[in-house]
């Protein structure tokens, strides 16, 4: 059965085919996008026969919650099951007044970053527009009625720029006033860095923030950590990022996952500073969130401090991302792997003890 959120654009035609007036489309969209309905029975201002016809034809969402974990710091993580049985993950983070959601764009990932859980088994498929939007809607439902989502980061599983059409389709609804009403300046697309797709974002005059996952100060190391770099190269990537900045006016962010003994030395910090000087708007350093079975480790607090001080001395604006939700395997891709590897553990409904799974 098709899902309504995958058919929002064709809904007016379907209603027409059912001899329904055009304003019903607006009503239904409002129920789904703003009034948080996930079944047609809740849509009390629609005539009963229409509700029944809708329920025979569509599901509201194309996915369901397979597992829900909550961390003491307010982070909540959903493992969702898609209608074909695949799983993806998405997260709600609470930070002061911010209600940020982290959303997946693909089942798995083809980029092959060696430290990341999402791509260990390659990419299975792209998510549809509706599957991306539906994650936002499920996360929105975790909030009390008087709270709204404030920020979106496309930092879940998958490479958003490898599924750009569907990601942009979902973000269009996220930004629309009669959708989720979230300003593009509160939306960040995180990418491994694919220059043709970055240029497309620029051509479309997008106003989203772009976060580039750099992770290494030179091509030799980046080729090892982020294999797709072999075909891209840091120089071309930085040029594309600069072109996007010229058009969007949005501050660029570079992300750098700190891996002990791999990319965290003071020499590498200096090399990174030299690479980014004059172009960097913000460097977001993320201490590694260990993934079971992978050989990488989080650096010691001393190594992290030395790395940070070196970059600050070199005049780079730097932010250390707090690691939220690591007790619930919130580095995306981890929960799905656990679910895939040990289906019998599905029944262990998650709480903060998820970290022991
Ligand atoms: N494909 C996009 C989105 C990936 S997830 C991208 O590459 O940007 C968002 C960020 O988390 C990326 O910078 C990614 O490299 C990083 N990341 C992946 N696994 C991680 C882990 N185990 N610990 C910390 N950061 C991780």
The answer to whether the pTM exceeds 0.85 is: yes
Question: What is the third-level CATH fold of 63-341?
Answer: TIM Barrel (3.20.20)
Q: Can you give the pLDDT at residue 322?
A: 62
310, two tokens: 């070196």
Share of the chain above pLDDT 90, in %: 85
Q: Output the CA 116–ligand 1 centroid distance in Å.
A: 6
pLDDT > 90? residue 239 = yes
Q: Which atom of ligand 1 is the closest one to the Cα of 153? A: 9
Considering the domain delimited by 2-6+14-59, tell me its CATH architecture. Answer: Orthogonal Bundle (1.10)
Binned at pLDDT 50, 70 and 90, residue 342 comes out as: very low
Is the CB of 232 within 6 Å of ligand 1? no
Q: Can you give the pLDDT at residue 105?
A: 98
Is the CB of 286 within 6 Å of ligand 1? yes
Task: Name the least confident of 82-86, 116-120, 145-149.
Answer: 116-120
Is the CB of 192 within 6 Å of ligand 1? yes
Q: Whose CA is nearest to atom 2 of ligand 1?
A: 191
pLDDT in tens, 277-332: 988 689 999 999 999 999 999 999 999 999 999 999 999 999 987 666 565 555 55
Q: Which atom of ligand 1 is the closest one to the Cα of 289? A: 23
Pocket test for ligand 1, best of 213, 262, 319 (most atoms within 8 A of CB): 213
pLDDT in tens, 50-79: 999 999 999 999 999 999 999 999 999 999
pLDDT in tens, 153-197: 999 999 999 999 999 999 999 999 999 999 999 999 999 999 999
Taking all residues of the chain, what is their mean pLDDT, rounded to a whole number? 91
pLDDT in tens, 344-357: 332 223 322 222 21
Q: Whose CA is nearest to atom 11 of ligand 1?
A: 155
Is the CB of 256 within 6 Å of ligand 1? no
Q: Can you give the pLDDT at residue 336?
A: 66
List residues with catalytic annotation. 89, 332
Q: Output the CA 304–ligand 1 centroid distance in Å.
A: 18
Pairwise pLDDT comparison (341 vs 51), residue with the higher score = 51
The domain locations on the chain are 2-6+14-59, 63-341
Q: Output the CA 187–ligand 1 centroid distance in Å.
A: 16
Mean pLDDT to the nearest integer, 15-27: 97
Q: Output the CA 191–ligand 1 centroid distance in Å.
A: 9
Q: Can you give the pLDDT at residue 356?
A: 21
Is the CB of 226 within 6 Å of ligand 1? no
pLDDT in tens, 246-258: 999 888 999 999 9
């Amino acid at each position: 059965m098709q899902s309504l959120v995958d058919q929002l654009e064709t809904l007016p035609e379907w209603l027409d085919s059912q001899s329904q007036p055009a304003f019903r489309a607006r009503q239904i969209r409002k129920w789904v996008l703003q009034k948080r309905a996930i079944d047609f029975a809740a849509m009390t201002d629609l005539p009963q026969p229409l509700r029944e016809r809708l329920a025979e034809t569509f599901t509201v969402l194309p996915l369901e919650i397979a597992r829900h974990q909550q961390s003491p710091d307010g982070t909540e993580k959903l493992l969702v099951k898609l209608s074909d049985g695949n799983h993806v993950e998405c997260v709600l983070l609470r930070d002061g007044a911010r209600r940020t959601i982290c959303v997946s764009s693909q089942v798995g990932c083809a980029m092959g970053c060696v430290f990341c859980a999402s791509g260990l088994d390659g990419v299975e498929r792209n998510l549809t527009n509706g599957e991306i939007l539906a994650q936002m809607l499920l996360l929105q439902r975790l909030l009390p009625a008087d709270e709204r989502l404030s920020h979106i980061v496309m930092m879940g599983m998958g490479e958003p720029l490898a599924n750009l059409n569907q990601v942009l389709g979902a973000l269009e609804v996220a930004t629309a006033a009669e959708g989720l009403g979230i300003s593009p300046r509160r939306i960040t697309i995180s990418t491994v860095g694919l220059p043709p797709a970055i240029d497309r974002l620029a051509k479309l005059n997008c106003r989203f923030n772009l976060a580039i996952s750099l992770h290494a100060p030179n091509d030799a190391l980046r080729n090892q950590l982020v294999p797709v770099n072999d075909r891209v190269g840091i120089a071309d990537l930085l040029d594309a990022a600069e072109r996007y900045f010229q058009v969007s006016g949005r501050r660029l962010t570079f992300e750098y996952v700190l891996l002990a003994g791999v990319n965290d030395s003071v020499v590498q910090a200096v090399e990174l500073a030299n690479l980014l000087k004059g172009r960097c708007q913000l460097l977001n350093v993320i201490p590694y969130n260990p993934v079971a079975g992978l050989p990488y480790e989080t650096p010691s607090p001393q190594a992290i401090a030395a790395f940070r001080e070196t970059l600050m001395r070199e005049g780079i604006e730097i932010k250390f991302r707090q690691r939220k939700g690591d007790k619930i395997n919130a580095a995306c891709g981890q929960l799905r792997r656990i679910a895939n590897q040990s289906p019998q553990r599905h029944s262990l409904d998650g709480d903060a003890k998820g970290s022991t799974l």
